[in-house]
Every structure is written in structure tokens, then in C-alpha cells.
Amino acid sequence: MSSESKRDEPLIISFFLYLAHSPRYIEFKNRVRDLLKNPKNRYKQYIDYFLIFLIVSSVAIFMWEVEHPTLGSILDFYATYFTSFVFLIEYLINLWLYNDIHAEILEEYNRAKFLNTKPNYYRALKRAILKKLSYMITIPAIIDLLAILPAYREFRFLKVFVLFRFLKLLKHSKSIYRFLEVIGNRKFELLTLFVLLIFVVFIGGLAIYILEEKQNENIHNLFDALYWSFITITTVGYGDIAPVTSAGRMVSFVIVIMGITMISFSTSVIVSAFSEKLTELKEERVAEQLINNKEFLIVCGYGQISKIFLREYLKDEYEIPYIVLDKDCRRVQEAINDGHNAICDDASRYEVLNRFYTPEAKITLLALTGSDIENIYISLNAKSVSKDIDIIARASSHKLINRYKRAGADRVVLPYEIASSMLVASIVYPTMYKAINAILNFKDVATIDEIYVSAKSLIINKTIEEVDFKKYNITIFGVQHGVDGEFIFNPPKSYRFKEGDIAVVMGHRLSLEYFKKKYNIIGRYRW
Amino acid sequence: MVEQKKDVLIFGYGRFGRTIANSIREYGTSVRVAVIDREEFKKAKSDKFEAILFDLESDETILSLNITESLYLVCAMDNNHENLFLTLSLRDLFPKNYIIAISDSIHVSDKLKMAGANRVIDIYTISANIIKHTLTIPVATKFLQGFINKSHGYIFKEIKIGPNSPLNGKKLSEIDFERYNIIFIGMIDEELGNQFVFNTVGFDHKIDPNDIIVVVGKEEDIKRFELECGG
């Protein structure tokens, strides 16, 4: 019962301690887990495709071999050993990922240290191995194991094992998996129907056995009777056994009616399960397509602002994909009718936004619901999913700006106050109002644009004077260098463009388009 | 900042009216508020506005609001239907007044214009456009918004060319705006039917007295320019 000092630790414990604290090992395990298990991982689908290919091709070769012996050929080697080897590795990796043996052992070690008792490593190891075993007896693990078996020559006479390769497809094909999932959701109803079916089969079988065992030459025993009953109730009716007495025929009336009722029942159960899941499946598909983009928008709330925004936005040549989220399903329906991708869901819930999050994409979220409380909550929620999500939120008063900023909103838009300022301007400075209104409303004659100076643009290292802005009647309001650069209003003619500069200009839409083409102005700066 | 005193009468003190009344008052313009609702009346009073109650369906109460021809009328009632009816009544009773109506959707905007509003401010369209611009031209949008919320020192200014201005008879291309650190963006020309013309269309107009040119710049720079060239 002496306390163990550090140098008394068995070598294996030091190794486990090393593993538990090695960022490399943890990172590696997490990476592998992500690759195999995380449906959002971009490369997971390639692994799935690869495994599906192995399954289908090896099964095809096995089928071919039934009639055309190719023993010893390269095809045989591929179908038997190569694929099995890959499946074995996949199996072992899954087993490895399931739990950490070293974690169990270390827990025991720490527990013993804490309680000052002798650690029972045997018990800890047993616990860890039992956990692995509990994985091994799950249905997917068993299927995986059986799919490896064709590699053993001794087992090859059991061609049925090839079927397990097909079952393996379930794991890697999403649509088949979903089908089973939907059926699984109706376990109770289907099970009830199944029990009822067995019950009726038995009643019918017993009835026909008692009534016709002597008269009917095709019914030799109870099994024949049950077989007849089952074939009749499923409305298959082979006709190899048929009732010969009136009483027996009466029984078949009842069985056939029961059979049709039950089949239509189970069909409707499955169909209703599907139609219930249909919107969900569709939404999932939309979400999947969206997160495959490098950049996209999430528009929360489908009110006036969102409507107008999306209408204007769709006109834009820079258009990037987007999705509309709203709690109110009627609004979502309206959005769908207006031709947008929309999902009825609550953007203030973590899971909802997390579904759209992928670290590889640049995501901008627009919190545009009519309520400040909602918008603030959505902003906070988005930032809790990831700090990288950019947020533009709508607020009803400037008094709330600080609260929005605290909640993580990167930009706050104040519709009432912008409108008031515009109204004031329209009274006090009518001309300025006209000018800004024209600019904001996308009038061709006064298009405000940004000229992004990339390495490829032809204005790089030129001064303003050297570039013929005047010729195209383009006015430069100012230049800013980079994201956080200072905005230089009315830069002097001697200003020389550097890479990463953004010039704010105004001109006729057509002249700007021409100018950009001429000087190879491509790309743009993102806020 | 306001050269001529402009008086405003705002109808409605709800969601829209309240924000508008307060920001107009900040500009030093005299504001009165007319409401049909007792609650709004109390709110306006407690915000220290000169508030008057009126009845939408009685012309007498509207006529008694003491509306002169130079008064700007702002229809900012929360209820679209009431706002439209009000706009119609005001246009009918006061054909010469400048009426500005607030709208919250494009359909309402069209109706308000048909009802006779001189200017319709569509609250959500402006914001929606700003959001779109923020996504596509962020630097420019920040600059533009600076004019509206006065967060940077630059302003748009109309400058009326007087008879003694040294600019008279000069062509636009001959004027050195850069010297004053201001940018010329357009003008209102009497010869062109008082239309605002942006410099983007590429005209080289000869300046006459009574032309109005529009420039952008720091307030003091514009003042200096106005002093030297306004006439």
C-alpha cells in the first residue's frame, strides 16, 4: 500500500502517459476519425467511393469465377487478397478508433494514485477490451468482419460470405443507409404488423391442417399447412397447395382479405414514414450542396429586408450561393415559392447552424429577423459555432449597437435610422439625397465600385495620372490599402497603386466594365 | 449646417415616426408631430415635441393643423392603410406642399406615389441595398454610409454659383478642384431642365450663374472653395 513514486511506474504506464499527452498522437487519431466518420469531411466521400468500388468489383469477380475459374490470376488476387486486406485495415482502424485502451489504464493509474491503493491494471485492461468487444458484436462490425472472410481459402466454399460484402455497402452508401433509417423509425408499427401476420399465418395454417389434412393430398404435415397459409396471406399464391374443401376455401377467403389489409397497412406505414422524412432529406441535400461551396451566405429571417436583399442580390454577377432560414414555416414556404433555397428551422439553435458550418468555407450570416432579441441570439449562436463566421445583423436602434457587437455581429445595419437619415437628407440636402439614392439604388449612371489592385492588374505600380480615369469619366473617391488600411480621400495624382489597394470609384456602369476589362481588374476584396 | 430653415410636420409617432422625428430635430429643423393615437401623443409629449391630435377622417382637424405651403409633410404612420389614406388626403387638401411618405415595401411605395407623395422613402429597400453593397463593395459602402451617419467628416454639398463667381464662363475641365481637396461629382443645370447630372456621363459644361454644382469633401475645404468661387 505504498504510494508509487514516478520512477517506480512501469514502462507501459510511461508509454501510455506519453500517448495521452502527445498532441501528435491525439491529432492523428482525431484526423483519422474525422476522415472516416465525419460526413462533413470533404475526403470522406472519396474513401466511401473507393470502398464501394472495391466491394462491387470484388463481388462481380466472384460471380464471374463461379463459371469461369480464374484461380491464381491477378483478378483473383485482387478480389480475394487485396480487397480483403483493405477491409481488414478498415476494420482494425474502426476498432482502434472506438475507444482508447491507454485512457482506461491511465484512469486506473490515476485512481489508484489518488486513493493511494494498488492499481489493478488487469481490471482496467479487461474493461477496455470488453469495450472493444462490445463494438465487435455490433451489427456493422460483424458485417465488416464477415466481409473479410473470403480471403481464407478454407472458407471459400461458403460463397454466401460474398453477400456480406454487399451488406457492407450499407455503411458506405448514404441512400441505402437512410432507407434503413426511415424503416427503423417505424420499428414499432412494423413489428406489430409482423406479429399480427405470424399470428394469422398460424391460425390459417392450423385451420387448414385440421380441416384438410385427410382430404388434401398435398398437405402432409403442419409445415405444409403453414407454408400454404403464408404463401396465401402474402397474395403470392404459388398454387402448389390449394384447398379442396369448401371449409378450406372459406379459410382462404379470410386469409386473403387479412393479407391484403396487412400489406396495404405496412405499405402505408412505410410511405408515410418516407413522406414525413422527405422534407428533411431534401433539406439535408440542400445543406450538403451548400457547404461544398467555398463561400456562401446564410440569411436568417425572411422578412421585407431579406426579400429585397435577395431580389437585388440575384441580379448581381458576383452572386454566391445562399440559404434562407426561418422559424416560421409559412415564410419559408413563401421563400421557396419565390425561388429561394429555404429551410424551416431555428437559427438560434446550435445544431441548426453547426450543420452548415465547415472550416473550409467563408460563411457570412445575415441576421435579419424583425426582432432584436432573435438577431442577437442568432449572432451569438453563430459565433459560438465558429469565430470565423462573419455576421451582418439588423438592429432597430443605435442604442443596441454595443450589445450587437458584444454578441459578435461584425456589422450592424439600422433600417429605421438609415431611412431617417435619408429622409432628413431629402429635406435638408435634396441634391445629396438624389446622388446617394441613385448610387444606392444601382442606377447605371452612378455606379460606385471598387477597383481591387491584384498582382495581375495592369494598373499596378502606375500613378493615378498615368491611368486614364479621366477618359472614362471615372471619379476616384479614395484609396485604401488592405483590410485595415487608412482610407485616403481624394488621393493626389501622383499616388502610385500598390498590390492590395482598393480604390473606391464612381462611374457609368458601362465605362467601369470597360475599364476593368482593359486593365485586367479581377477579383475583389471581401470585408 | 442648415442654410434655410425648413419646418417639418410629421404624422405618426410610432416605430418610424419616432426615430425620424428625433433625427430631424438633431439637424436643428423645427418639428411638429401630429398623431391620431393617445398613446403616441403621450410619447411625443414626453419626448418634448409639439404634438397635436387629429382625426384621420375629419378634414377639419387636418385643416386646423396650421399647414403653410412651405411646410414639409412627412407621412410616417405605422399602419400602411392609414398612411396611404393620409397621403391622399394631404395631397387633396394641400396640392402645393412637399409630401414625403414612409413605406415598408415596394408595393406600398408604388401606391404612395400614386396617392401623390413627392418622395417615398422605402425603409427596407435602403437597408437591403446597403447589405448587398457591404458584401460586394465593402470599402465603398463604408465610405457611402459615412455620409449618411456622419461618421467621417466628408459631406456632399451643393454650391450655387453666384453672379460674381470667378468660375463663371469657365469650363468644368478648367477648374482645379484638387487644389481645394474636393471632388466634383455632378451638377444641376438650369439649361438642362434642373436635372441632376452626374459627371460620369462626360460633359464639359460651361458654368453660368445660378448653376448648382455638387461636390464632396471635408466641410472646411468646401467652405474655402465656396468662399473663393461661390460668388
Query: What are the tens digits of pLDDT across the range A433-472?
Result: 877 787 777 777 888 888 888 888 888 888 888 888 888 8
* CA dist., res. A408 & res. A387, Å (int): 8
pLDDT, position A300: 94
A269 within 8 A of A193, measured Cβ to Cβ: yes
> Which residues, 6+ apart, have CB-to-CB distance to A232 below 8 Å?
A204, A252, A255, A256, A259
Residue A501 C-alpha, separation from nearest chain B C-alpha, in angstroms: 11
- Enumerate the β-bridge partners of residue A479: A488, A503
Assess whether B121 and B105 both reside in one domain. Answer: yes
| Chain B CB contacts of A447 below 8 Å | 200
Query: What are the tens digits of pLDDT across the range B22-38?
Result: 888 887 778 899 999 89
B104 within some domain: yes
- CATH 3.30.70.1450 positions along chain A are 444-527
**Number of Cβ within a 10 Å radius of residue A4:** 15
pLDDT, position B117: 92
Query: What are the tens digits of pLDDT across the range A408-420?
Result: 999 888 888 888 8
Assess whether B16 and B74 both reside in one domain. Answer: yes
Arithmetic mean of pLDDT over chain A: 84
pLDDT, position A525: 65
Q: In this model, does residue B225 exceed pLDDT 80?
A: yes
Bridging pattern class, strands B50-53 and B72-75: unpaired
* CA dist., res. A215 & res. A372, Å (int): 83
Out of B151, B168, B195, a domain closes at: B151
Amino acid at A14: S
Assess whether B145 and B184 both reside in one domain. Answer: no
| Residue of B98 and B15 predicted with greater confidence | B98
- CATH code of the domain occupying A294-418: 3.40.50.720
Do B156 and A473 make contact, defined as CB atoms within 8 angstroms?
Answer: no
Residue A320 C-alpha, separation from nearest chain B C-alpha, in angstroms: 10
| Residue of A289 and A8 predicted with greater confidence | A289
Q: In this model, does residue A5 exceed pLDDT 50?
A: no
**Number of Cβ within a 10 Å radius of residue B131:** 26
3-state SS string for B14-77: CHHHHHHHHHHHHCCCCEEEEECCHHHHHHHHHCCCEEEECCCCCHHHHHCCCCCCCCEEEECC
Q: Which three cell numbers mark A188?
A: 414499432
Complex prediction ipTM: 0.82
The yes/no answer on whether domain A444-527 falls in CATH 3.40.50.11310 is no
| Residue of A270 and B203 predicted with greater confidence | A270
Q: Give the angle A191-A194-A200 at the CA atoms, nearest 5°.
A: 145
| pLDDT-above-90 percentage for chain A | 21
Least confident of A51-60, A322-331, B196-205: B196-205
Q: How many helices and strands in chain A, by DSSP H and E?
A: 21, 10
Size of interface A-B (CB pairs under 8 A): 218
| Chain B CB contacts of A364 below 8 Å | 135
A415 within 8 A of B123, measured Cβ to Cβ: yes
Assess whether B106 and B160 both reside in one domain. Answer: no
Residue B149 C-alpha, separation from nearest chain A C-alpha, in angstroms: 7
- Enumerate the β-bridge partners of residue B72: B8, B98
The DSSP element (H or E) to which A390 belongs, if any, is: strand A390-394
Q: In this model, does residue B177 exceed pLDDT 90?
A: no
Assess whether B147 and B157 both reside in one domain. Answer: no
B2 pLDDT band, cuts 50/70/90, is: very low
| Chain B CB contacts of A441 below 8 Å | 125, 129
A-facing residues of B in 158-197 (CB < 8 A) are 158, 178, 181-186, 188, 196
Q: Give the angle A212-A215-A219 at the CA atoms, nearest 5°.
A: 60
CATH topology of domain A187-278: Helix Hairpins (1.10.287)
* CA dist., res. B65 & res. B54, Å (int): 8
B94 within some domain: yes
A436 → chain B, closest CA residue: B144
* CA dist., res. A402 & res. A25, Å (int): 43
pLDDT, position B231: 67
Name the residue range of residue B60's domain: 8-151
Out of B122, B151, B180, a domain closes at: B151
Out of B111, B128, B151, a domain closes at: B151
| Chain B CB contacts of A491 below 8 Å | none
Assess whether B168 and B221 both reside in one domain. Answer: yes
| Chain B CB contacts of A299 below 8 Å | none
Residue B20 C-alpha, separation from nearest chain A C-alpha, in angstroms: 5
Query: What are the tens digits of pLDDT across the range A37-75?
Result: 877 777 888 888 888 888 888 888 877 777 777 666 788
> Which residues, 6+ apart, have CB-to-CB distance to B44 below 8 Å?
B13, B18, B21, B33, B35, B51
**Number of Cβ within a 10 Å radius of residue B229:** 20
- CATH 1.10.287.70 positions along chain A are 187-278
Q: What is the largest CA-CA distance in chain A?
A: 114
Q: A401 and chain B: CB distance < 8 Å anywhere?
A: no
Assess whether B123 and B92 both reside in one domain. Answer: yes
Do B183 and A435 make contact, defined as CB atoms within 8 angstroms?
Answer: no
A155 pLDDT band, cuts 50/70/90, is: low
Assess whether B12 and B114 both reside in one domain. Answer: yes
> Which residues, 6+ apart, have CB-to-CB distance to A251 below 8 Å?
A204, A207, A208, A211, A243
B-facing residues of A in 492-521 (CB < 8 A) are 492-493, 502, 504, 506-508, 511
- CATH 3.40.50.720 positions along chain A are 294-418
pLDDT, position B3: 47
Residue A380 C-alpha, separation from nearest chain B C-alpha, in angstroms: 19
Q: Which of B2, B147, B183 sits opposite A475 (nearest CB)?
A: B183
Q: In this model, does residue B167 exceed pLDDT 70?
A: yes
